[in-house]
Every structure is written in C-alpha cells, then in structure tokens.
Amino acid sequence: MYSVVHGNRKQATDVQEFISLLDNLSAHPLAQGLFDPAPDLIVSRAPGRLDVMGGIADYSGSHVLELPIAEATFAAVQLNEQRQLNIVTLLYEEPYHSSFTMPLSVFDGPIDYEKAREFFQLEDAGGWASYVAGVFLVLMREQQANFASGANILISSRVPLGKGVSSSAALEVAVMEAVAAAYDIKVEAREKALLCQKVENMVVGAPCGVMDQMTAVFGERDRLLLMLCQPAELKGTIAVPSQLRLWGIDSGIRHSVGGADYGSVRAGAFMGARIIADLKTDFSKYLASISPAEFESEYLAQLPKRVSGTAFLERYRGTMDPVTTVDPHKDYAIRLPTAHPIYENARVQRFVELLKKGGAFEELGELMYESHQSYTALGLNSGGTDLLVELVRKAGPAAGLFGAKITGGGSGGTVAVLGNETSATAVEGVASAYAKETGHQPYIFNGSSNGSQSFGTLRLSLSHR
C-alpha cells in the first residue's frame, strides 16, 4: 500500500482515488510491474478547464477568462536506471488504456523538434505519447536538463478527450510538474506553462495558444482566471458571484486543436496581422491590442475577405507566428479571423467589468451568445454545439439560464453555460432535450478545482504491511 510521505493529499477529493489505483495496479495488465517496489513515486495533479470567454483569441493577445474544472489528470513518476521511458495511461475508459516505451537516447543531442515529431508519427501510440515524452525533450532543449535516469510514468485522467476542456494541457502540466520534481529541476510556475505549450506546439505539432496550460497551472477553485495572452500575463482571479453557476455540456462532437478549421482560422488571423503591420507603424503584433473603433476606422476596409496562400506569400513572405503555416495551395478567409480577436477581447473586458459590479446577468449571457455567433461566422461551430446554445437560449432567464457559447478551439466539444443557483434542473433539461434530438447523452461538467501550483506534488512510499 502506498502512503504519503510528503505533500498534502487532502486538498483534492480525487487524490485517494488515484492512490487506490496505484495500490491495485495488478488489476490492470498494461500497468503490472510498471513500478519497482523500492523507489518513491512523485505524484502531480492538473485540471482541465472551461473556457468561459476568450477562447481562440488567446493566440492574438486577448484577455481570457477560464475556470479550472473538477476533472483532472494525475501523473506518477518513478526514476529508473535503464534510461528508458515506460509510460502507461489508464484513462477514464478502458479503450483509452495504452502503453509506450522508448529509450531516452532517442532525444540525445538534443534532437530538434522536427525530428521528434517524425519519430512519434512513425511509432505506434506515438501520438498520445508525444504529450508525455515531449516534456523530456523540451526540458532538454529549453532548460539544458540532463536525464541520466529514465522514468516509469503512470497517467490517470478524468478529463475527457476531445470535448474541448483541454485534456492535452492537463496531461502536459501534470507530467511537467511530476518530472520537474522527480529530477529536481527548478522551473518557475509560469515558465512551466510556457514549456508545456512548447510541448504541444513543437513536439506534438498542434498550434495551441497558452491559456489552457496557464489555467492548468494557476487555476483556483471556483474562481475565474483572468489572463492577458501577451504572451501569458496573469491579471488575477475573479470569484464567481454566489448567485451564478457555470456549467459545461458536452456536444459529443470530437474537438481537436489540430483540426483543419482551427488551423485555417488561426492562419487567417496571423495573415491579417501581417497585413496590418504594414499599415500600422506601432503595431504590437497582437491583434487584440487594437480597439474595435480603431479597427473599423483604419483597417477593416483594407483587409481582403479572402486571399490565396500563394498571393499572400508572394507579397508578405509569411506571418509573424513561428508555428503558423500558410499553404500556398489554399485560400484563406482574412477579414473575419482578423476581426474576431479584436471584438472578443472587448467582450471579455466588458464581461469582467460586469462581473466585478455584480448583477447584469442577462448582459453577461448576451456577451456569450455574441462570442458563439462570432465562432459561427468563422466556421468553428458545429451542429451539436449550435443546438445546445439554442436550447439554452430557448429555456432562457425564466429557467435561470442566461447565456452559452462554444469553448476553446471550437468545431465541436463543449458548450459553456451561464446560469444561476437554481439552474441545475434547467441544465439537466437541456441535456435531456439534446439527447432526445441527437441520441447522445451529454456529459455535464459541474464543479471546479485548484491548478497544479496549488496542489504541488506528493511523494508516495510503498509500505510493506
């Protein structure tokens, strides 16, 4: 049986569940023999997040408002002498149980990120393993870490995959926290989040912003994390007013930040930013730094609705973003992707202003509906998320529901819902109506928990009793 020899296990309700899993690994064929009896385990925990406002505007420097959810990912790390990574994931459902083994010598040099992506693309199960093993390469390249020992790693997660609540960031942050502690690598908390973003951008190859990783690190239970993504400036937390509740309802449509729609919209925004940089001498590189009024008076009419990749590259050569690729064989929307973060940033700032004043719940909800409509104009909506938003709007304030919007990168995933303290029944009603119409019974996200910085790490020792 494992016992805690260092750290506070009482600060999260799911800790004992994870320790019980460790005590019963013999019941899981993939995990049998993963850990040696003697060396201690280092355990970390990082939550997923509900994107309340801000979403994809993060990569354009917007303010964002994020709520850490109750569902979290755990990582247990034990050093081994073989200089090998032995990784097992036991997620919430058996189809997502996997194992992966690789020698750390693959990363020696250290190799560049492109070679690492190629390695994981060729390996069975390499896609998911890159989120875990990528932490080691990023620490080698960015922190000059020297891994003389390998690691046995167990991942367990209640953050559902593909539902737009940032399962990937929860995984990266949990692993980063445990690995840094196990190898005694000193990394400041904000830097950990930025390094985790680099894992996803450079090793996995998904061009995400940084709000997810920052929330997984700095989130506080029942408080909205306010951040300015230029690139990752914490602006504090805001308590959710006692009369309000935030929920997430899963559409059942799988979301992926690496999807073509997200990538095209992101590229269009950075292409628009590059065009504006030629027009605005003091451009900060962040679209969200432009006000809606300035955008409408100075730049809107000068942006093309669409442009071919070839024409753009011939004139501008590329964008100012190192992880955004412009395909010369594609046409890109420019005006709408450029406008979205400018107006979204203004919506987030108004949302914060209203929260701090208290009241005005219907106006808060309207801002969420406006955000969802902007996603829709970009083509990042889906039939399922549109239906959920429609059902929330139909129930309305009379049922205690004020607003709803698609979350994160869009194109499926979860809808964030704003209600009051009486809205639980109405949320269940929306989920039931959705299930009746689509055949999918939605998962409802309810509750919040602290980020990895607050949790810290646990050191577990195997007691022989």
Q: Which residues have a catalytic role annotated?
A: 212
**Total Cβ atoms within 10 A of residue 358:** 11
**How many CA atoms lie less than 13 Å away from 447 in the CB half-sphere?**
12
**CA pair distance 55, 66, nearest whole angstrom:** 9
**How many CA atoms lie less than 13 Å away from 403 in the CB half-sphere?**
21
**Total Cβ atoms within 10 A of residue 377:** 14
| Dihedral angle of Cα 250, 252, 257, 259, to the nearest 10 degrees | -150
Cα 209 → chain centroid: 8
Q: Pick from 207, 128, 114: which is nearest to 161 by CA? A: 128
The single residue listed with the structure tokens 């997040």 is 49
Helix (H) or strand (E) holding 53: strand 41-53
**CA pair distance 212, 166, nearest whole angstrom:** 6
Name the token pair of 407.
């979350």
Biggest distance spanned by C-alpha atoms of the chain: 75
Cβ proximity of 223 and 262 under 8 Å: no
Name the token pair of 46.
């990082």
